[in-house]
Amino acid sequence: MHDLLGRRLGNYRLVRLLGYGGFADVYLGEHIHLGTQAALKVLRARLESEEQERFLQEGRTAAHLSHPSIVRVLDFGIEETVPFLVMEYAPHGTLRQRIPQGTRLSIQEILPLVRQLSSALHYAHEQGVIHRDVKPANMLLNQRDEVLLSDFGIAAIAQSVHGLNGKEVTGTAAYMSPEQIQGRALPASDQYSLGVVLYEWLTGDWPFHGSFTEICSQHLTATPPPLHEKRPDIPVAVATVVERALAKDPEQRFVSMQAFSDAFAEAYGNEIAAPDEDEVTLRRSLLTDPTLYADEGSRGASSLPPTMDAPVGGASVGIPSLPVVLSGKKTGVSRRKVIIGAGVALTGAAAIGGATWFLLAHATSHDASEQFTAPPSPTPASTRVPSVGTTVFTYRQHSESVLSLAWSPNGQYIVSGSADTTARVWKTTKDETLYTYRGHAGLLNSIFSVSWERNGKAIASGSSDQTVQIWEAATGNRLTLYQGHAARVLSVAWSPQTTSIASAGADKTVQVWDAFTGKIGAVYHGHTDSVYAVVWSPDGTLIASGSADKTVHVWEAETQQVVAHYQHTDAVYAVAWSPDGTLLASAGADQRIQIWDARTATQQTTLFISTELTAAITALSWSADGKRIASACTDATVSLWDVEAGKLVYTYKEHAAPVYTVAWVPDGPYLASGSADRTVRIWRGR
Ligand code: ATP
Ligand code: MG
C-alpha cells in the first residue's frame, strides 16, 4: 500500500512511511492547512460495513482517552473504504526499537517505565477501556523521550479484519494472556502482557517460544521458566511480583495496574536493609570532613551540628560496599524510600576517583582569588578585562542537551546535568571532564536539576528517573538515593543553612528532607500541576516554588505555612531570590520576568522583550550584588537585566539552540549557560 505516499487522506497528506505492523501501515502526515504533523495509521484491509462500524466505535473510544502517557487520537475516518486513524506523531520511535531483543535492563531503568505504563493502563481501565495489545512496539517515545502507549483497543479491530495470518501476529501472541487467547479480554489481561514485557526486559528473553499455536498453548498451560534462573542477580521480591502478574488465573494477579506498579517499586526498595546509626554518622562525617574541601571552613563549620565534627581520614575513608535503605516517615506520600549507599560502582567516577579527589581537594584549599578567572587570551590587546558578553570558555563534552548546571561554591568547578543521562563535573578552565556521574543512567533519563552543597562537598541531582541522588562531589560516590517522588524530579535545591534538600517535580509536590538520613521534614501539596522551580530564601526559612499551574508560592520550610502567592498568566519555569532575601523574580511561558516582594507578593517591576511567540524563559539567576538578573530563553538567547533601571542591558546570542540553564559564578562577573546545543558557555556578565 506504499502507493499511498503523497496522497491525501482526510486533511492530511502522506509524506513518509513510518513503519508497518500486522494489519496497517503508518505514515507521517502533514495537515494540508495547518502544516502540523501527525501519524496516520492506514489499515491494509477494506472493511465491510459491519466492520466499519466497529472500527469507528474503537476509534471513538481511543479518542476519548486523555492521559500524559497515552498517544492522543486526533481523528479517524474511512476514505473510499480505506480506514485510517490520525494520531499524535511520536518522533523518537518505539521501545521495541530502543530496546532490541536480547537487551537486559536494570530494575532502576525499568521502574520509571513501569510507573508510566501502569499509570496509563490504570487510567484506561477506570474508563472501561482494555488495551488488548500491550507490547514494546506499541510503546512510543515523544520528543522528550517520554513513553506513550498507543493502539488502545486496536487489537479488537485486527481480529475482525480479513487477511491476517498467524505469522504476522506472532509478535503479539508472545504477550497475550490465556484468557485473551480464549477470546475473553479483561483489564487483568493488560497486566499479564506488561508482565511479559517486564520478563523480557529483565531476562532479555520471552517466557515462551515457538509457532503462533505453540506460544498460545504455553500461555494456556505452561509455567514460564523462573525469572531467577535466567537472571540470578535480581531480587527475589521483584521476580515474585512479575511472576504474579503472569498468573494463568486473572484472579491471582494484582487487583489493579496501580497495585502492580506499587508492588514492583516496593519490592525493589525493600531489598535493601536499613542502615544502623553508625552508618548514618559515618556518611555525615564524610560530607563534613574539613580536609575534603577546605573552602574557607568558617562558613560551613559554624553551622554544623556537634555530631558532625568527628574527623574522618580524608580520601582513605572506608566506604562500606553494601547499599542500605532508610524508609521515610509516612507523611502522606506513598512509597517513599531513601537508599543510602556509597561504594556503588559508578563507571568513570570510580575509575578516576583517587586522582579527582586530589585535584579537587588541592585546588580548593586556596582563597577566593582562585575563583573562576578568564584564561589568558592569546592576543595581548585583549588581556585586559573582557567586555560584557565575551565568551571565555566553552565546555563540549555532553552528547545531548545541557539542562542544568551549578557552580561549586569556590567557583572553580561546574556540575552540568544533561539529557545524555549523565552529570559531569569539570574544571571551568579545561574542556575535559573530571568525572561523569552515571547514577541516573537509564534508557531515557534526563538530569533536570543539580545543586551543589554549600560547603562544596556534595552534589544533589534530580532526574526523570523520579529519584534525587546525593553524591560526593570529589569522587562521584553515591551517598543517598531518594525515591519519594512519584514522577519526574524537575528541581532540587540544598538549603543554604542546613543539610535539608527541597525537591519538586511532575508529581506536583515539593518535598523537604534531610540529605543524609532521607527523613522527610515536609511535603507541600499546594500546587495543582508540575513544579518546575524550587528555591530557598537566603536565610533558609522560606521556600518559593514555581509551577505549571501558573503560580509561585512562598511558604515556610518548617510549617509549610503559605506566606505569599504570585499569579502568572502561564506556566512558571524559573524562580530566583534576590541576595538580600527581599525580592523574588519569576518567569516562564508568559515570557515576562516579574519582580515582586517575597512576603507581600506586591509587584515591583516587569521585565520583558518580545520574543518568538512560542519562546519561554527557562532559568533565572540573580547576581551576588543584586544588581543584575540573567534570564535563559528557548529562543537560544540569554538576557541580562539591570534590576533597578528595569532595563535590558545585554543579549547573549552565542548559543545555537534553546538555553535551559544559567547561573552567575558565586561573587564574580561571569555566567555559565547550558543549552540544547550541548555546550556550556562561560561568559562575562559585567
Ligand atoms: P501490530 O500490527 O501488531 O499493532 P505494530 O504495533 O508494530 O504491530 P503498527 O501499530 O502498525 O504496528 O505500527 C507500525 C510502526 O509504525 C511502529 O512500529 C512505529 O515504528 C510506527 N508508528 C506507529 N504509530 C506511530 C506514531 N504515533 N508516531 C510515530 N510512529 C508510529
Ligand atoms: Mg502498534
567 or 169: which leads in pLDDT? 567
Measured by CA distance, the residue closest to atom 16 of ligand 1 is 19
Query: Which atom of ligand 1 approaches the CA of 88 most closely?
Result: 27
Domains delineated in the chain: 2-268 (1.10.510.10)
Cα gap 239→109, rounded to integer Å: 15
58-72, 133-147, 175-189, 276-290: least confidently modelled range: 276-290
| pLDDT tens readout for residues 517-530 | 888 889 999 999 99
Q: Give the CA radius of gyration of the chain.
A: 27
Counting other chains too, the contacts that 157-162 makes at CB distance below 8 Å and 24 or more residues apart are 157/23, 157/43, 157/51, 157/54, 157/55, 157/58, 158/22, 158/23, 158/133, 160/51, 160/54, 161/23, 161/43, 161/45, 161/47, 161/51, 162/45
- Inform me whether the pLDDT recorded for 361 exceeds 80: no
Phi–psi pair at 384, nearest 5 degrees: -75, 175
Cα gap 662→672, rounded to integer Å: 6
- Inform me whether the pLDDT recorded for 304 exceeds 70: no
Mutate to test the pocket of ligand 1, among 151, 152, 168 (most ligand atoms within 8 A of CB): 151
Mutate to test the pocket of ligand 1, among 15, 26, 37 (most ligand atoms within 8 A of CB): 26
| pLDDT tens readout for residues 496-508 | 999 999 999 999 9
Measured by CA distance, the residue closest to atom 12 of ligand 1 is 21
The 3-state DSSP composition of the chain as helix, strand, coil percent (nearest 5) reads 25, 30, 45
56-70, 552-566, 650-664: least confidently modelled range: 56-70
Per DSSP, helices labelled H in 341-410 are: 349-363
Query: Which atom of ligand 1 approaches the CA of 23 most closely?
Result: 2
What pLDDT does residue 45 have? Answer: 74
What percentage of the chain reaches a pLDDT higher than 70? 80
Q: How far is the CA of 38 from the centre of ligand 1 (A)?
A: 13
Q: How far is the CA of 21 from the centre of ligand 2 (A)?
A: 7
- Per DSSP, the three-state class of 289 is coil
Cα gap 388→200, rounded to integer Å: 55
- Inform me whether the pLDDT recorded for 381 exceeds 70: no
HSE of 362, CA atoms in CB hemisphere, 13 A: 7
Measured by CA distance, the residue closest to atom 4 of ligand 1 is 21
pLDDT band at 200; cut points 50, 70, 90? very high
Residues whose CB is less than 8 angstroms from the CB of residue 382 and which lie 6 or more positions away in sequence, other chains included: none
Predicted model pTM: 0.59
Asked if residue 467 lies in contact with residue 495, where contact means CB atoms within 8 angstroms, the answer is: no
Q: How far is the CA of 41 from the centre of ligand 2 (A)?
A: 9
- Inform me whether the pLDDT recorded for 346 exceeds 70: no
What pLDDT does residue 386 have? Answer: 73
Phi–psi pair at 602, nearest 5 degrees: -75, 130
| pLDDT tens readout for residues 108-134 | 889 889 989 999 999 999 998 999 999
| pLDDT tens readout for residues 586-628 | 999 988 999 999 999 998 888 887 666 678 999 999 999 999 9
Pocket of ligand 1 (CB under 6 A): 18-24, 26, 39, 41, 71, 87-90, 93-94, 133, 137-138, 140, 150-151, 172
Average pLDDT over residues 48-54: 74
Measured by CA distance, the residue closest to atom 29 of ligand 1 is 90
Cα gap 105→203, rounded to integer Å: 8
467 or 80: which leads in pLDDT? 467
- Per DSSP, the three-state class of 94 is strand
What pLDDT does residue 77 have? Answer: 82
H or E stretch covering 82? strand 82-87
- Inform me whether the pLDDT recorded for 301 exceeds 90: no
| pLDDT tens readout for residues 78-102 | 887 788 889 999 998 999 988 888 8
In sequence order, the β-bridge partners of residue 606 are 594
Query: Which atom of ligand 1 approaches the CA of 151 most closely?
Result: 10
| pLDDT tens readout for residues 214-249 | 999 999 999 999 998 898 888 888 999 999 999 999
H or E stretch covering 79? strand 73-79
Number of neighbouring beta carbons within 10 Å of residue 543: 28
Measured by CA distance, the residue closest to atom 19 of ligand 1 is 19
Place of cell 516587569: 606
